[in-house]
């Protein structure tokens, strides 16, 4: 069922749309409705469209916080492709067939479920994403009394994600996270040939916001205490390209921690468009990498109800293991 009924058909090329609000969207704020309709368009641009009067309700000007009523007709102006281009979300498309999620379950019992999240799928809706993993799981299991995220993964990161099915499980796992009882390890391909053995990184992290509204994180005195441990697994050399597969153990759980700490020590992660090295990203893209090479590979913790030790592992996705295979193949001279 579509989100809204089309009141006036538009041509196939970008054009003005007039959408009639149905009962399911009655009472929703205009800005939230537009975010769902204009997937991938920055919020700042959406608010600018409303402010300039390009978005209208029943032919009249409106405010972002206007509540929609059934039968209202909302005018949505055409948005240029470069502004409307959404991120590639391979996981989101798969969630249209909700049974797909069952194939990603790593572990499940009466208290919790662990899922192997694909890269490109947000853990929850918002910021231009109408349907995330948790909303999809709730749709798949409408009779589940509770499904709540225990922790989060960045949209571009794949791997182990925990969801609680009971309040007691959620509070128990949160306690373990606060006390360092959850062992979280990631695999990442970083720029350069690693020198030496394992290395601990203790660098405080602080959030900030760009003028565009995008959130970033940097190393900053006075930020939140953050600690990671990097262990090299294999150094790769492919022509002039040098890269290292590392295991990253997060001792704290800050936003973008693995990515910022990796860049901080001079080994940014492949495919990182926020904190990475553009030249390294171009080189790995030429070898077929189309995503961030960061994968939550293992989780070790105590079961929140029984206390039994659990170790969960998500295999390296084919697109990442395939890149590693190409890195060890000799280049063909032409």
The answer to whether the CB of 181 falls within 8 A of the CB of 173 is no
Q: What is the CA radius of gyration of the chain?
A: 22
250-255: long-range contacts, CB 8 A cutoff, minimum separation 24:
250/184, 250/185, 250/186, 251/180, 251/227, 252/224, 252/225, 252/226, 252/227, 252/228, 253/151, 253/177, 253/184, 254/205, 254/217, 254/224, 254/226, 255/205, 255/207, 255/215, 255/217
Active site annotation includes 183: no
For the chain, what is the total number of helices (H) and then of strands (E)?
Answer: 9, 16
Burial class (CB in 10 A: 0-12, 13-18, 19+), 225: exposed
Contacts of residue 208, defined as CB under 8 A and 6 or more positions apart, other chains included, come to: 215, 216, 217, 218
Q: Which two tokens stand for residue 20?
A: 């009639």
Do 33 and 75 touch, CB atoms closer than 8 A?
no
Q: Treating both helix axes as pointing N-terminal to C-terminal, what angle do 43-51 and 30-37 enclose, rounded to 10 degrees? A: 120
219, β-bridge pairs = 205
The whole-angstrom separation of Cα 68 and Cα 267 is 49
Distance in angstroms (rounded) separating the CA atoms of residues 319 and 323:
6
Catalytic residue among 22, 31, 65, 154: 154
Token code pair at residue 281 = 């990203």
Q: Which helix (H) or strand (E) holds 148?
A: strand 148-149
Catalytic residues: 154
């Amino acid at each position: 069922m579509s989100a809204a009924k089309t009141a006036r058909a538009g041509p196939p090329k970008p054009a003005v749309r007039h959408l009639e609000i149905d009962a399911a969207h009655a009472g929703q704020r205009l800005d939230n409705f537009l975010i769902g309709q204009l997937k991938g368009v920055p919020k700042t641009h959406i608010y600018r469209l409303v402010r300039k009067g390009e978005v209208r309700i029943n032919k009249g000007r409106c405010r972002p916080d206007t509540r929609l009523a059934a039968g209202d007709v909302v005018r949505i102006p055409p948005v240029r492709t470069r502004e409307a281009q959404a991120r590639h979300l391979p996981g989101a498309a798969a969630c249209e067939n909700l049974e797909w999620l069952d194939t990603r379950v790593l572990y499940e019992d009466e208290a919790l479920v662990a899922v192997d999240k694909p890269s490109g799928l947000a853990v929850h809706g918002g910021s231009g994403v109408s349907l995330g993993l948790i909303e999809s799981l709730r749709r798949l299991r409408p009779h589940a009394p509770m499904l709540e995220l225990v922790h989060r993964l960045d949209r571009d990161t794949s791997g182990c994600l925990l969801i609680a099915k009971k309040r007691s499980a959620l509070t128990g796992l949160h306690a373990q996270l606060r006390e360092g009882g959850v062992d979280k390890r990631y695999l990442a391909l970083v720029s350069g040939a690693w020198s030496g053995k394992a290395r601990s990184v203790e660098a405080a992290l602080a959030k900030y916001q760009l003028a565009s509204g995008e959130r970033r994180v940097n190393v900053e005195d006075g930020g939140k205490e953050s600690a990671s441990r990097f262990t090299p697994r294999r150094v790769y050399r492919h022509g002039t390209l040098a890269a290292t597969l590392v295991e990253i153990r997060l001792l704290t759980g800050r936003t973008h921690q693995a990515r910022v700490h990796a860049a901080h020590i001079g080994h940014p992660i492949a495919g990182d468009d926020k904190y990475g090295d553009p030249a390294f990203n171009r080189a790995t893209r030429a070898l077929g990498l189309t995503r961030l090479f960061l994968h939550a590979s293992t989780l070790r913790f105590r079961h929140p109800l029984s206390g039994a030790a659990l170790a969960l592992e998500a295999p390296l996705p084919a697109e990442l293991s395939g890149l590693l295979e190409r890195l060890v193949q000799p280049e063909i001279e032409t």
